[in-house]
């Protein structure tokens, strides 16, 4: 029986895993057993896929992580179609994660899995010559390695959990560095003018044979990256902005979008600390300490430096393409939005959260969580809460009137302002309105797909 050369096997893996660790582990496994399975010799792709199907259907396996640079679509291959169906069933147990490369055939296959609800990511670092591996786990553990050589598959199967641990470390690192396939495909659509977007959507659907489910996932990413890379959450204190921000972030992450949640309170608190410690650097003018770890400002303009710092963070995020959710409370919401600049505002959505004065007052009366302070060596960490205390005179003077009507009258944000009514403390009420907001953002892009 001819056994695969381990030195050939390891070359592509060492980019993500320490060489010494892999070599030591492989030598350990090699001494214990050479695992003379039916997969340790050259075989045709058809036979290799048949063996993969057997393992995928194993009732003692309930999870799969697979790095497959040369992922195959199901078209014209009943065996691949069966493997995909088996993976879909595995996904309903403990989950399936697949990493592939940017080659069109692999993307087509990845889109098929996406349409079946399987999470697929794309790595730009992978090439056709990279080693592939499948990590099956459950009450049984099977690690299947394969490297294409001369048009033939040269697989090896390891049935010990220690082997899986080595490759899982590499998988997890590669997974964290890879992009969801729906985000990657959305990026392809964005690489052109707005005028040709509808044509590119149709062409992509045909090129990758996208199912309705897969295309809708791509359109969600496209819509937010194109029309809502920044979402502002505004409203008076006690209206429920933090609840809305967290609910929106949860919904977008459910669709595998990268989300960064920002709140200006932490930057305002930094200004307050500069004033409190008398650092003499001119920061924190107008801030004074209040009971319960809170602060107060003399005028709303004293909070402007915190808003500028928040604006810089938003600009930094635009380079790395996450969806940024920005929460802040200001009496002059329109003036505060101008701090972020026309370019950011032109590509943003605004969710304004409103509640009755009675409900806001009751919520503010219940709030009062002080900052948490911890010490580790020479470092002191301070964590502020969304439920921080707000001095009553600030609520009565700075934030006494909701300005939604003024926002609604602004022509430059027409069609991009969404109102959330929040007089109920039930999360389901918020979730319904967040779903409506997401659908409002995505709906025009579904329309483009039908043109």
Q: Could you report the per-residue pLDDT of 137-159, keeping only the tens digit for each?
A: 999 999 999 987 777 778 888 88
Contact 110, 122 (CB under 8 A): yes
Cα–Cα distances (Å) from 273 to 268, 295, 391, in that order, read 9, 10, 17
The whole model's pTM is what?
0.85
pLDDT > 90 in the chain, percent? 61
Per-residue pLDDT, 290: 84
- Listed residue (418, 337, 361, 350) closest to 239, CA to CA: 361
Please state the CATH superfamily assignment of the domain spanning residues 228-434 in this structure. P-loop containing nucleotide triphosphate hydrolases (3.40.50.300)
14 pLDDT higher than 50: no
Instruction: Tell me the pLDDT tens digit for each residue of 290-346.
Output: 888 888 888 888 889 999 999 999 999 988 878 999 999 988 999 999 999 999 999
Q: Where in the chain is the domain with CATH 3.40.50.300?
A: 228-434
- Listed residue (21, 30, 408, 8) closest to 234, CA to CA: 408
Mean per-residue pLDDT for 393-402? Answer: 70
12 pLDDT higher than 60: no
Tokens of 418: 């969404």
38 pLDDT higher than 60: no
88 pLDDT higher than 90: yes
93 pLDDT higher than 80: yes
Please state the CATH superfamily assignment of the domain spanning residues 6-177 in this structure. Endonuclease Chain A (3.30.870.10)
Angle between helix axes 212-227 and 427-450 (nearest 10 degrees) is 100
Per-residue pLDDT, 437: 98
Q: CB-based contacts of 366: which residues, under 8 Å, 6+ apart?
A: none
199 pLDDT higher than 90: yes
Mean per-residue pLDDT for 350-360? Answer: 95
> Cβ–Cβ contacts within 10 Å for residue 175, how many?
17
Mean per-residue pLDDT for 204-219? Answer: 98
> Cβ–Cβ contacts within 10 Å for residue 6, how many?
15
Mean per-residue pLDDT for 382-404? Answer: 77
90 pLDDT higher than 80: yes
Q: At 80, is the secondary structure helix, strand, or coil?
A: helix
Q: Where in the chain is the domain with CATH 3.30.870.10?
A: 6-177
pLDDT > 70 in the chain, percent? 88
Per-residue pLDDT, 43: 66
Per-residue pLDDT, 42: 62
Please state, rounded to an integer, the average pLDDT across all residues of the chain: 87
Task: Give dist(CA 10, CA 42) in Å, integer.
Answer: 18
More confident: 36 or 125 = 125
Query: 373 - beta bridge partners?
Result: 382
Per-residue pLDDT, 385: 87
- CA-based torsion, 357, 359, 363, 366: positive or negative: positive
Q: Of 128-137, 273-282, 344-353, 395-404, where does mean pLDDT reach its minimum?
A: 395-404
Per-residue pLDDT, 74: 95
Neighbour-count burial of 90, counting CB atoms closer than 10 A to its CB (0-12 exposed, 13-18 middle, 19+ buried): buried
> Cβ–Cβ contacts within 10 Å for residue 433, how many?
19
65 pLDDT higher than 50: yes
CA atoms within 13 A on the CB side of 332: 10
């Amino acid at each position: 029986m001819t056994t695969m050369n381990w030195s050939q096997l390891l070359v592509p893996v060492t980019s993500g895993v320490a060489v010494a660790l892999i070599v030591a582990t492989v030598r350990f496994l090699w001494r214990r057993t050479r695992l003379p399975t039916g997969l340790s010799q050259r075989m045709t792709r058809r036979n290799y896929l048949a063996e993969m199907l057997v393992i995928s259907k194993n009732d003692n396996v309930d999870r799969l992580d697979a790095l497959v640079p040369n992922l195959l679509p199901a078209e014209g291959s009943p065996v691949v179609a069966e493997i995909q169906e088996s993976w879909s069933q595995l996904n309903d147990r403990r989950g399936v994660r697949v990493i592939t490369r940017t080659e069109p055939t692999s993307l087509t296959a990845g889109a098929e899995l996406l349409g079946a609800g399987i999470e697929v990511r794309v790595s730009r670092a992978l090439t056709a010559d990279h080693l592939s591996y499948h990590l099956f786990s459950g009450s049984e553990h099977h690690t299947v390695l394969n490297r294409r050589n001369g048009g033939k598959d040269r697989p090896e199967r390891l049935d010990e959990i220690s082997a899986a641990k080595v490759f899982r470390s590499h998988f997890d690192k590669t997974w964290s560095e890879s992009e969801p396939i729906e985000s990657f495909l959305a990026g392809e659509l964005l690489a052109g003018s707005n005028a040709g977007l509808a044509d590119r959507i149709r062409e992509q659907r045909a090129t990758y044979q996208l199912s309705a489910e897969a295309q809708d996932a791509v359109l969600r990413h496209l819509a937010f990256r194109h029309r809502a890379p920044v979402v502002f959450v505004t409203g008076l204190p006690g209206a429920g902005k933090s609840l809305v921000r967290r609910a929106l972030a949860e919904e977008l992450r459910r669709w595998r979008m990268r989300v960064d949640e920002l709140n200006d309170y932490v930057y305002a608190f930094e200004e307050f600390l500069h004033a409190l410690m008398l650092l003499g650097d001119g920061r924190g003018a107008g801030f004074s300490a209040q009971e319960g770890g809170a602060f107060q400002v003399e005028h709303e303009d004293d909070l402007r430096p915190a808003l500028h710092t928040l604006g810089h963070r938003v600009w930094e995020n635009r380079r790395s393409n996450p969806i940024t959710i920005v929460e802040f409370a200001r009496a002059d919401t329109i003036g505060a939005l101008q701090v972020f600049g026309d370019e950011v505002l032109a590509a943003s959505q605004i969710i304004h959260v409103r509640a009755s004065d009675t409900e806001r007052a009751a919520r503010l009366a219940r709030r009062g969580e002080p900052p948490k302070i911890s010490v580790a060596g020479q470092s002191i960490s301070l964590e502020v809460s969304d439920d921080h205390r707000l001095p009553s005179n600030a609520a009565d003077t700075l934030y006494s009137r909701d300005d939604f009507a003024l926002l609604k009258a602004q022509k430059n944000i027409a069609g991009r302002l969404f109102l959330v009514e929040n007089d109920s403390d039930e999360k389901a009420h918020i979730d319904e309105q967040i779903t409506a907001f997401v659908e409002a953002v995505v709906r025009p892009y579904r329309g483009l797909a039908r043109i």
